Amino acid sequence: MKFSEIIRQFGDAASNHSLISNPDYDPEITGVAAIDEATTGILSYVEGPKFASFVGKTNASALIFPEDEKLQAIAQERGIVWLATPDPRLLFAKAIALFYQPYHPVPEIHPTAVIHSTAKVGSDVYIGPHAVIQQGVEIGDGAIIHPNVVIYPNVKIGDRTTLHANCTIHERTHIGADCVIHSGAVIGAEGFGFVPTRTGWFKMEQSGYTVLEDGVEVGCNSGIDRPSVGETRVGRNTVIDSLVQIGHGCKIGSGCAIAGQVGMAGGVQLGNRVILAGQTGIVNQVKIGDGAMTSAQSGIHNDVAPGEVVCGTPALPYKLYLKVCAVYGRLPDMYQSLKQLQRKSKNSND
């Protein structure tokens, strides 16, 4: 499509662009790519200064910029059309959707799917080969159940929710509308509940519920456990990466982002818009306030205040963590100085 058509698709978000001053140069755009891999006919973007140097050497035909007149001038000199926006990455994400749409099967129920007679299946639903849907399950309109999905009894699946191949939804699970559960994820399995006794571990039955509110996305091979009592709940529009473990009884707010290999023990509470970087570990019953963030491999042993950024293990506030890191790098020299002082002290005493 023409660059001008892309601008029209973006509406007011693309009000500042090169066609204003040069309307006759309107190249055909055939796809999108990263700026260092873009070729003729490709649209790419620059999010900030880190990739600004690529503007002078990219082969892209069109670029999405931040509001930066220097970058615009470089593109103009090289004959690259551009548009400027406060959030280039968001606009580029929308551009991808103009050229690519994920696979969306035509509604049908495959003859090899096993569906219990008491299950309720909405309209325009796709159920793929060898899916198993047990008694009392409710599936909303427009849902997509890919091959080999197993849904245990009495589960509720909301409208337009997609369950990808080989994921498993256990009993006492309610999944809202417009959710996406990726392959290998297990939702609502038994939480890790065992009581120590003199003769071994006594298993505590996990009789609670697991609730995913509307718009939740869960990555491949992640697990969200149901509790012994009460519920494990994930708030609306929260996104969860692959290989994440969410323990029994956790309460996660809305709009959170949880990166790969995060693990949280039972009873953890996250506020709204919390961001957990990769491999963050959280001990049981910790509370993390609204808008808080962790860096990669943070170990959270205590509550985190709203809006706070923490790093390290055990986790420390960001500014304190930087000071600790500065001292840590000087430890070998400090150790040598300490040894010298000890020798001098010993000689003085002798």
Q: Which residues are annotated as catalytic?
A: 248
How far is residue 107's CA from residue 328's CA, in Å, rounded to a whole number?
59
What's the token pair of residue 129?
Answer: 């080969």
Residue 66: is the preceding peptide bond cis (ω within 30°)? no
**Signed CA dihedral, 24, 28, 33, 35: sign only:** negative
How far is residue 132's CA from residue 170's CA, in Å, rounded to a whole number?
12
Instruction: Name, in order, each residue with C-beta under 8 angstroms of 349's C-beta and a sequence gap of 6 or more.
Output: none
Instruction: Name, in order, each residue with C-beta under 8 angstroms of 5's C-beta and a sequence gap of 6 or more.
Output: none
Of residues 67, 62, 70, the one with CA closest to residue 19: 62
Q: How many DSSP H helices and E strands does the chain contain?
A: 5, 37
Kind of pairing between the strands at 239-240 and 156-157? unpaired
- In the chain, the largest separation of any two C-alpha atoms, in whole Å, equals 93
Q: Reduce the DSSP state of residue 202 to 3 states and report it.
A: strand
How far is residue 330's CA from residue 266's CA, in Å, rounded to a whole number?
38
